[in-house]
Amino acid sequence: MPFNLNDPAGRAAALEHQKQVVRIRNEASRAVADEERGPVPPPDVFTLSRLLAEPDEETSWRVNECQPANSRVMLAAQFKAGKTTLVANLIRSLRDGDPFLGKYAVGRVEGNIALLDFEMGRHQLKRWYREQQIVDADGVIVMPMRGRAASFNVLDPQVRAEWVERFRELSVTYLVVDCLRPILDALGLDEHHDAGAFLVPLDALLAEAGIPDALVVHHMGHTNERSRGDSRLRDWPDVEWRLMRKDDDPASARFFTAYGRDVDVEEQELGYDGITRRLTVVGGSRREAKIDDALPVVLKFIGDATEPPGRNAILSGLKESGHAKNVLIAAIKKGINDGHIATKPGDRGAQLHSIVTEVVACDM
Q: Does some domain include residue 252?
A: yes
Write down which residue in 223, 253, 284 finishes a domain. Answer: 284
The CATH number given to whatever domain includes residue 337 is: 1.10.10.10
Which CATH number belongs to the domain containing residue 135 in this structure?
A: 3.40.50.300
Q: In terms of residue numbers, what domain contains 200?
A: 61-284
Domain boundary among 284, 301, 331: 284
Is 70 in the same domain as 124?
yes
220 shares its domain with 325:
no
Write out the chain's pLDDT in tens, 364 residues: 677 777 888 788 888 888 888 888 888 887 776 676 666 677 788 899 988 898 887 889 999 999 999 999 999 998 888 999 999 999 999 999 999 999 999 998 999 999 999 999 999 999 999 999 999 999 999 999 999 999 999 999 999 999 999 999 999 999 999 989 999 999 999 888 888 899 999 999 999 999 999 999 998 864 455 555 567 788 899 999 999 988 888 788 899 999 998 999 999 999 999 888 999 999 888 778 888 888 898 898 898 889 888 888 889 889 888 888 888 888 888 899 888 998 888 887 788 899 988 544 444 3
179 and 159 co-located in one domain? yes
Last-in-domain residue among 238, 269, 284: 284
Structural domains of the chain, count: 2
Q: Flag whether 362 is in a domain.
A: no
Q: Identify whether the C-beta of residue 189 lies closer than 8 Å to the C-beta of residue 126.
A: no
